[in-house]
Structure 1
């Protein structure tokens, strides 16, 4: 006799994806689009979750534009609202330059010009990782927990 089925809560996934030019303007637009989409999903501007996602998107999009730009190729912003969190993914087409893994991120020296972006991602995200992407490139994925 089979075991009785336990009802599972429905899993709701909402996804927003946008390709943007690999320019400073594209990076700024990514942050604005992320905040607007969160507002549509019921996460208003100025909340801890909205501010954390905006900071993560700003840093990852800026990294894609500054360190991983391939002329003539865009980067992609993808947001997913899943049960309990907002997932941020920024993908680029540069396979040669990979950011360090989460465990390898070190704070920069005080006078360093660069190196604070992933430290901020580490601070704002509940978890994050770097993934290979097909065709060549990478995706940096970060998640921000949404309180009940």
Structure 2
């Protein structure tokens, strides 16, 4: 059975740090430490994009972290318009935009966007060698 955590964050840049900490705390709790260095910048990028481009004023974005077998999936859902795209190397368009998703595609094993009405979910999957361990039910001594 997959392990999952979900949390909503307000439209503020402080939420990027909070989202990153939330994701890493969940992975640590589940004993899934092997992809922390890849998940960290990807969650930062997806959360930053939601705050800057995807979340309308007064709204929130939702971060989901799921450990299912040997895979970790992170998803950021917002209610804004637009469709994120990855800048290809050599593109002359807007040198300061789109490069973060290129980083996500380089670090994650898979990446995509699901369009909703309203909004979208941007997701990334990280394959691992480990499997999530359920939280211990043994009493603490």
- When normalised by structure 1's length, the TM-score is 0.80
1:1-148 equivalent positions in 2, closer than 5 A: 12-44=1-33, 47=34, 49-95=35-81, 97-100=82-85, 105-107=87-89, 112-134=95-117, 136-148=118-130
Instruction: Report the Cα offset of residue 129 of structure 1.
Output: 0.7
1:21-53 deviations in whole A, cap 9, x for unaligned? 111001111011111111001023xx4x01111
CA distance in 2, matches of 1:61, 1:74: 11
* Cα root mean square deviation, aligned: 1.7
Segments of structure 2 that go 5 or more residues without pairing to the other structure are: 131-141
Stretches of structure 1 lacking an aligned partner (at least 5 in a row): 1-11
Greater relative contact order (CA < 8 Å, ≥ 6 in sequence): 2
- Deviation track 1:2-39 (CA, whole Å, cap 9, x = no partner) reads xxxxxxxxxx2001000001110011110111111110
Offset, 1:98: 0.8
| Bigger Rg, which one | 1
CA contact (8 A) 2:7 2:63 kept: yes
Aligned residue in 1 for 2:135: none
Deviation at 1:144, TM superposition (A): 0.3
